[in-house]
Amino acid sequence: MKVKSSVPLELVGYLKLADAVIITDHHHRIVDINAYYEQTTGYSRDNIIGFKAGFLKSGLTPPCTYTSLKRELRKGNPWSGVFTNRKKSGDIWHSSITITPIHIENHLYFVGVFRELEQLKEGIYLSENKRVENQRELLKVLAISCEIRDPGIEEHLLRVQILTENLVLAHNRRKHLELSKSYINHIVHASILHDIGKAEIPEGILYKPGPLSPYERKIIEMHPLMGADILNKISREINHEMISSLEVAENIITYHHEKWDGTGYPHRLTGEDIPLEARIVAIVDVFDALISRRPYKDSWPVERALSYIHEQKGKHFDPSIAETFLDYFKSNDLIV
């Protein structure tokens, strides 16, 4: 027997929407659902009317989501977010939902409009945090794979990534650049790729303990261009969205050995012709290389490395970024 709806006439129109709709009373008990809600969840309206809406919870939605939801609804405000719930079959479904409190006479109702994210034409839904995390891990694996011959490379790359994040955030604050969060993430994530071109350099040259010959030096100086070529080849084979903003990554790979005074390589760019992201990674890469032991050199004390950065302001490095690095390092007693 079909359960009679107790939804006020003023709310009946919501049940005709093409998205899944659920209407609850002020106790959050289900008053009615529409046909699309039945199709999506597998629950028939006759079986769930009268139940509290929380019975759909999967335990996978972060607690902070419910905290935000309750806070806004108590204020009488609508709320939007993402839920991870269970269908009747037990399958997980992700939904973008907007819940709106509506007063009719002396009664309070909540109208929830769901859109199943798995059904979006673009494909599988990933939250922004999960997408960023996946991108970061993908680039880490790619970078380590390209430089796997160096047993200490993972530690170096992760230090470069951490220092890059510290520096770009500090410089953004100090100079009031108002860089977007997305752009900052691109710089931080792509910094780990800066030397992937070294995968194409013969080991005999790359790890030579003595001085390089002019010919060997020329080969070494080709690795930024080789790295850009590797990135472009890889980008054609995988989902472009997984390495978003290839331009930032390519700029870091290609230009992180350019110098402020134009004596760097491969294109001898000067000053602000060098992309900002490359100027940032240049300082970090050199600093970490100086304080790290290599087959051809011993590690420098941190103080000596910082003195070198200071000496090279306006020569090797962007003087403003170098000043930010030195100030941040000093004021935060940064440990590496």
- Residue 32: left if φ>0, alpha if ψ -120 to 50, beta else—which one? beta
Both structure tokens of 32: 């009615």
78: nearest Cα among 111, 125, 34: 111
For 135, counting Cβ atoms within 10 Å of its Cβ (0-12 exposed, 13-18 middle, 19+ buried), the class is buried
Task: Tell me which residues are annotated as active site.
Answer: 198
Q: Is 7 helix (H, G, I), strand (E, B) or coil?
A: coil
- Residue 245: left if φ>0, alpha if ψ -120 to 50, beta else—which one? left
Q: Is 244 helix (H, G, I), strand (E, B) or coil?
A: coil
Q: What angle do CA 218, 286, 192 make, to 5 degrees?
A: 90
CB 168 within 8 A of CB 175: no
Both structure tokens of 182: 């997305």
Query: What are all long-range contacts of 54-61, with beta carbons under 8 Å and residues at least 24 apart?
Result: 54/28, 56/85, 56/86, 57/85, 57/86, 58/84, 58/85, 58/86, 58/92, 60/84, 60/92, 61/85
Both structure tokens of 237: 């084979």
